[in-house]
Chain A
C-alpha cells in the first residue's frame, strides 16, 4: 500500500512540476525576463524605441544589455536583436500603429504598449505576444477571432501568398474556424462564402488569409472557371492544409449509378466541381450528352473525383446468365457502359477464345447444360455450324444410318426415345439430321410413325409454311 502511495505521489509531483514549468514559460519571455527588469525600465520605449517612433529599431542593441551585463556588474548574457524578418502573416507595424493611434485619438491616448501586450489587470511588465482579444476589442470587433467577418481579417493579416516569411509548418498549424466545421461547409458553405463578395470582390480576404489557389485545385476541377479561385494567388504552402475530396451524400444512394444520369441532365453544373469529362468516360463507352457541360482534365485543374468502374447494383451474382430481359427492355441503359463489341464477343464466339462466358472445363460439362438448356445455346451458337460440326469431328453424328449402340445406357433407346427427343430436340439436332428422323417418321415410307405431339396445329403450320409438311407428306399434305 505504501509503495502505491509513493508511486502516486511521485506521479503527482512530476505533474505539478510540469504544470509549473508551463506557467513559468508563459509568464516569462524565454529570451528576456521582463518581470525581473520591471523596476529598471519604467517605460517600454526605453528599449523598444521603434514601437512608438517609426524608423527606429524595435529591439534594443546588444550593447544596451552589456552596459550592465558586462560580467562584473551582472553576469554576461547573450543577446542579439533579431535581424531576419519576423515569420508572421501580420501586417502590423508598431510605428505606424502608434502614429495612427495618435492621429485618431490624440497624444493623450490611453492606448499604450500594455493595452495589447498584457492581459487585463496584469502587472505592467508581464508582457506577452499581442492579446488578440484586446486588439479586437479596441477595434470594435465583438466576435471571436476566427468568427470575424471576412473584411476584418485584412485589418491585421496579410494574405497567405503575401506572408512569404511564414514557414509551411506554421501554415499547417493555422487554427480551423468554427464555420469550417459546419456539416454543409464542404459542399455548399465554402462556395457561398468564397463568392459572397460578388464580382467586385472575387474572393474574401478571410479565404486568402489561410488559402491559395493550390489548395482549391486539390478538389476543384472547375478551378479555371471559378472566379474566386482564380483571384487567389498561387502558393504551394496552401497544400499544408489537407484537402480530401469526399463524395456528397447523394452519391451514397443505392440507386445512384442508375439515377445519376437524370441528375446530371438536370444540373450538370453541380457535377463539374469535382468531375471532368474523364469521370464520365471511365464507365461510359460513349461520352454522354451531359458530359459536354464538364471540362476536360488539364493543367490548372484539380484531379477531381477518380472514378473506378464498378458493377451496378442490378448486376447481381447470376446476372451473366439472366441479363436477357433487362438488356432487351433497357438497351439504352446497357449502351451507356458497354460497346457492341462486348456483346458480340460472347454472342458471336471467337474460335480462339478461352474462357469468357463458360468456365474452364465446360467442354466436359456441356452435355448437362446443353440437354436441359440451362441457357439457350442458339443465342450464341449455330446448332448446325457449331454443335453438329464439332460432333461430326468427334464421331458423334449418325452419318445417315441409325446404328444401335451409342445410347447404350438405355437398352431400348431407339424405340423409346420419344420423351427424350421432345424434351431436348435441340440437343438431338446437334448430332442428327432430319433424314435420320425421317427414316421412321415419314408418312411416305419407313415405319410411318407420327411425330406430332402436344400443341401441334397442322392447319396453322400448313398456312405458314407447307414446305415443311412436304418433307414427310410429299405433295399429298393431308
Chain B
C-alpha cells in the first residue's frame, strides 16, 4: 500500500512539475534483461524400513538410494534427484532523474524494476512481486543542505538501509563536515520489499505484522589526509515499541602517504552489547605493483524479531592479503589469500567433528598484448567448514571494433561438501558478446554450456547439464537545456573501467 502510494505521489509530483512548463531536464536508463537458467535440486522421499536392503553395511532402497533410518522408526528417508526446473526471468529496469523543475535544486529520482518469469513458474527469486521500487524520492538540494522525501536507500557502514521516509543532510565547515539524519518505515535487509511481504516468507515462518521504524544519524568528516564517518541506527517495532536493532558504526580512510592508505571500519551492536564486523586494510600502491594486508573479524547480525541472535552465533577472524604486479606493459599478475578461523562455539559435539578454520587463495593473470586481445587466467582454491572448492577459469577477449567485445571463456570447478555426500564437478564454456552500437545503446548476449556432475556413491548422483542464455539491451537517454550529450562517465556506468 505504501509502495503504491509512494509511486502515485511521485508520479503526481512529476506530472505537476512537467506541467509547469519549465526547462525540464532528465536522465533515464532503460534496461531490459532476460536469462534462461535451469535448477535441479532434490526431492525428499521415504520407504518402509522393512523394504530397505543392507548393502556393504549401509541401508539402501531396492533401486539403490542410500537411506537414513532412525532407530525405531518404521520409515526411512532419502533424497531423489529433483526435477529440472527452468527459470526464464525477464526484468526491465527504469532508473532516472528529473530536474529543472522550476525550483533550482529540486529533482526527482526513481529506480524501479518490472520483473516476470517467462518459464513454467517463479523458480528464481526476485521476480515476485512483479513491480519493485528500489528508490523513488524528491530531493531538494542547496549548497548547505539536502532534503529527500520518499523511498530511498541509505548507504553506510551498517549496510544498505532501505526506507520510506525523509532524510536531511547538512554540510558545514567548508563542506568538510556532513551530518545526516533520517527517519522512515524500513525495508527488509537486502531487499526492496518490506519485512511484511509474503515474498520474503516462502517457508511461512514467524513474520512481523508491521514494518519497522528506522531512524539514524550519521556524521562525516573529510580531510585531505583522510575521512571519518560515524553512524548510529535504530530500528523499532512500532507495534510493541521494542527494538529490532540498535547499532553504531565507524569507518575511516586514512591516506598515510601518496602510496599508502589505511581503511578500517567497525560495527557495534548496542542491543547485544558486542562488536560486530570489524576490518582494517592497509593498501600500498605503486605504478607497477600494489599490495594489501588486512584483518577482518566477521560477526553475523540478526534482527531482534528473530530468535537467531539468542542462538549465540559466533564470528570468524581472518587475515588477508593481496598483491598485484605489472612487470611489463599489458601483463598483470595477481595473487590474494586469506586465512580464517571461527571463534569458540562452546559446544560439545563429540559425535560430530566440524572444521573450524579454513583458507582461500586466488592467483591469476591478465595479458593484453594489444588493444584488441586480452587473455585471462584465474585459479581459486578454498578450504573451510561446510564446503570447499577449487576452480580454474580462463578466457580470451577480442575487440574486433572499438565498441564490440567478444569473450570466449571456459572453466572447471570442483566442490566437495563437508556435511553431505554431494560433491560436484562442473565444466563450463561460453561466449559473451557486448556491443555498444551508439553512445547511448548497449546490447549484450551470452551463451554458456554447463556440464555438472553430482558425485554420490549411490543412485542419488545425477548429471545437471544445461545451456544458459542471456540477453541485455540498455539505453541511456537524457537532455538538458543546452542539449548537450550525456557525460561519457554516465554513458559508461555499466562498463568496467580500464
Query: Measuring CB to CB, which residues of chain A are less than 8 angstroms from any residue of chain B?
Result: 253-255, 258-259, 262, 278, 281-285, 287, 296, 308-311, 313-318, 322, 324-333, 337-345, 347-355, 359-361, 364-365, 367-374, 376-386, 388-397, 399, 403-413, 415-427, 429, 433-435, 437-438, 441, 451-457, 460-461, 464-469, 471-472
Per DSSP, are chain B's interface residues mostly helix, strand or loop, or mixed? strand
| Contact status B286-A254, CB under 8 Å | yes
Among the listed B351, B382, B421, which residue makes an inter-chain contact with A408, where contact means beta carbons less than 8 Å apart?
Answer: B421
Taking the closest CB of chain B, its distance from the CB of A165, in whole angstroms, is 42
> Could you tell me if B41 and A360 are in contact, using CB atoms closer than 8 angstroms?
no
Kindly count the residue-residue contacts between A and B in the assembled complex, taking CB atoms under 8 Å apart: 473
Q: Is the CB of A373 within 8 A of B190?
A: no
B446 at the interface (CB under 8 A from A): yes
Q: When A408-B66, A422-B345 are in contact, do A367 and B417 touch as well, CB less than 8 Å?
A: yes
Task: Tell me the smallest distance from the CB of B75 to a CB of chain A, in Å.
Answer: 9
Q: How far is the CB of A394 from chain B (nearest CB, A)?
A: 3
B74 at the A/B interface (Cβ < 8 Å)? no
Q: Distance in Å from the Cβ of B283 to the closest Cβ of chain A?
A: 6
Chain B nearest Cβ from A384, distance in angstroms: 5
Which of B281, B298, B470 is the most central at the interface, judged by chain A CB atoms within 10 Å of its CB?
A: B281
Would B70 and A404 count as touching, CB distance under 8 A?
Answer: yes
Which residues of B sit under 8 angstroms from A333, Cβ to Cβ? 227
Given contacts A364-B452, A465-B304, 19 further A-B contacts (CB under 8 A): A253-B258, A309-B498, A315-B497, A316-B291, A329-B229, A348-B190, A350-B126, A351-B126, A352-B115, A368-B386, A372-B340, A376-B300, A384-B200, A403-B44, A416-B349, A419-B356, A457-B273, A465-B271, A469-B310
CB distance from B416 to the nearest CB of A (A): 9
CB contacts (< 8 Å) of B430 on chain A: these are 360
Q: List 25 A-B contacts (CB under 8 A).
A: A253-B258, A283-B489, A324-B265, A328-B157, A329-B251, A331-B155, A332-B220, A343-B155, A352-B34, A352-B91, A353-B33, A372-B358, A376-B298, A386-B126, A392-B202, A405-B78, A405-B79, A410-B352, A412-B351, A422-B311, A424-B313, A433-B204, A455-B312, A461-B304, A468-B306
B489 touches A423 (CB 8 A): no
- Please report the total number of B residues contacting A with Cβ < 8 Å: 178
Query: A residues within 8 A CB of B498?
Result: 308-311
Write the nearest CB–CB distance from B203 to chain A, whole angstroms.
Answer: 5
**A329/B242 contact (C-beta < 8 A), A341-B111, A351-B89, A354-B470 known:** no
- Closest CB in chain B relative to A51 CB, distance in Å: 60
| Chain A contacts for B191, CB-based, 8 A | 348, 382, 385-386
The residue in chain B whose Cβ has the minimal distance to the Cβ of A324 is B265
In the assembled complex, the Cα of A377 lies from the Cα of B191 at a distance in Å of: 12
Which B residues touch A379, using CB under 8 A?
159-160, 190
A133 to chain B, nearest CB (A): 48
Which one of B13-21, B407-415, B435-443 is at the A interface? B407-415
Q: A413 with B488: in contact, given A309-B497, A354-B470, A378-B190 (CB under 8 Å)?
A: no
Contact among B68, B85, B311, B472 for A393, CB-based, below 8 A: B85
Q: How far is the CA of A435 from the CA of B207 in the complex (A)?
A: 12
Distance of B204 from chain A, by nearest CB (Å): 8
Give bound CA distance, A372 to B358, whole Å.
8
- Cβ-closest chain B residue relative to A380: B190
Min CB gap A475→B, angstroms = 14
Partner of A423, one of B201, B220, B271, B342: B342
Tell me whether A376 and B277 are in contact in the complex, defined as CB-CB below 8 angstroms, given that A316-B283, A353-B35, A384-B203 are known contacts. Answer: yes
When the two chains form their complex, are residues A409 and B417 in contact, meaning their CB atoms are under 8 A apart?
yes
Q: Complex: how many Å from CA A1 to CA B340?
A: 78
User: What residues of A have a CB within 8 angstroms of the CB of B228 in the complex?
Assistant: 329
| B290 at interface, CB cutoff 8 A | yes
The answer on a CB contact under 8 Å between A417 and B352 is yes
Stretch binding the partner chain, chosen from B2-10, B48-56, B387-395, B398-406: B387-395
Evaluate contact between A281 and B134: CB separation under 8 angstroms: no
In the complex, are the beta carbons of B67 and A405 less than 8 A apart?
yes
B420 & A407 in contact (Cβ 8 Å cutoff): yes
CB–CB B41/A393 < 8 A: yes
Q: Nearest chain A CB to B297's CB is how many angstroms away?
A: 12
A-contact bits for B462-498, CB 8 A (1 contact / 0 none): 0000001010100000000010100111101110011
Q: Give the residues in chain B near A455, CB-CB below 8 Å.
A: 272, 274, 312
The complex places the Cα of A359 from the Cα of B391 at a distance, in Å, of 11
Partner of A328, one of B156, B193, B201, B354: B156
Query: When chains A and B are docked, how far (Å) is the Cα of A332 from the Cα of B123?
Result: 39
Q: Which residues of B contact A340 (CB under 8 A)?
A: 109, 111, 135, 153
Flag if B300 contacts A364 (CB, 8 Å): no
Nearest-neighbor residue (CB-CB) of A435 within chain B? B205
Q: Does B145 contact A (CB under 8 A)?
A: no
A residues in contact with B259, CB < 8 Å: 254-255, 313
B118: shortest Cβ distance to chain A, in Å? 10
Q: With the chains together, A285 CA to B125 CA distance in Å?
A: 31
Given A342-B494, A351-B89, the answer on whether A364 and B125 have CB atoms closer than 8 Å is: no
A325 engages B124 (CB within 8 Å): no
Question: A384 to B324, Cβ gap below 8 A?
Answer: no
Assess the B281–A467 pair: CB atoms within 8 A.
no
Tell whether, in the assembled complex, residue A378 and residue B189 are in contact, meaning their CB atoms are under 8 Å apart. yes
Which of A283, A379, A424 has the most B CB atoms < 10 Å from its CB? Answer: A424
The interface residues of chain B lying within 8 Å CB-to-CB of A328 are 155-157, 229, 231, 249, 251, 265
Shortest Cβ gap from A372 to chain B (Å)? 4
Q: Are the C-beta atoms of B336 and A317 separated by less than 8 Å?
A: yes
Residues of B within 8 A of A472 (CB): 307, 310
A420 adjacent to B153 (CB under 8 Å) = no
Q: Is the CB of A419 within 8 A of B111?
A: no
Asked whether A352 and B488 contact (CB < 8 A) given A322-B281, A367-B415, A382-B191, the answer is: no
- Chain A residues lying within 8 Å of B264, measured Cβ to Cβ, are 325
Central interface residue in A354, A425, A456, by most chain B CB within 10 Å = A354
A451–B310 CA distance with the chains assembled, in angstroms: 7
Cβ–Cβ < 8 Å partners of A371 in chain B: 384-387
Chain B hits for A433, CB < 8 A: 203-206
Q: Is B240 an interface residue (CB 8 A)?
A: yes
B 132-170 binary contact with A (CB < 8 Å = 1; else 0): 001100000000000000000101110110000000000
Encode B286-309 as 1/0 by CB contact (under 8 A) with A: 110011101000101110111111
- B294's nearest neighbour on chain A, judged by CB, is A322
| Complex contact A254–B258 (CB within 8 A) | yes
Pair B304/A412 contact, Cβ less than 8 Å? no
Contact B155 A464 (CB under 8 A): no
Complex Cα spacing A404 to B242, Å: 37
Q: Are A434 and B206 in contact, with the CB atoms below 8 A?
A: yes
Closest to A431 in B: B203
Q: Separation in Å of the A68 CB from the closest CB of chain B?
A: 69
Q: How many angstroms between the C-alpha atoms of A281 and B480 in the bound complex?
A: 15
Q: Mark B104-141, 1 if CB is under 8 A from A, else 0.
A: 00000101010100000001111100000011000000
Given the known A-B contacts A313-B290, A330-B253, A385-B125, are A461 and B310 also in contact in the complex, defined by CB atoms under 8 Å? Answer: yes
CA distance A255 to B225 in the complex (A): 12
Min CB gap A181→B, angstroms = 28
Q: Point out the residues of chain A lying under 8 angstroms from B155, CB to CB.
A: 327-328, 331, 343
Q: Which B residues are CB-close (under 8 A) to A410? A: 352, 354, 418-419
Q: Is B375 an interface residue (CB 8 A)?
A: no
Distance between B261 CB and nearest chain A CB, rounded to angstroms: 6
Bound-state CA distance A407–B419 (Å) is: 5
Question: Is A394 a contact partner of B487 (Cβ separation < 8 A)?
Answer: no
Given contacts A311-B497, A371-B384, A405-B68, contact A351 B115 (CB under 8 A): yes
Residues of chain B within 8 A (CB-CB) of A278 are: 487-488
Nearest B residue to A343 via CB reads B155
A423 touching B115 in the complex, CB below 8 Å, given contacts A329-B253, A408-B68, A433-B205: no
Counting chain B CB atoms within 10 Å of each CB, which of A322, A364, A380 scores highest? A364
Q: Given that A325-B279, A394-B42, A471-B307 are known contacts, is A352 also in contact with B470, CB under 8 Å in the complex?
A: yes
User: Which B residues between 233 and 262 are near A, CB-CB below 8 angstroms?
Assistant: 237, 240, 242-244, 246, 249, 251-253, 255, 258-259, 261
**For B306, what are the chain A residues with a Cβ–Cβ distance below 8 Å?**
434, 468
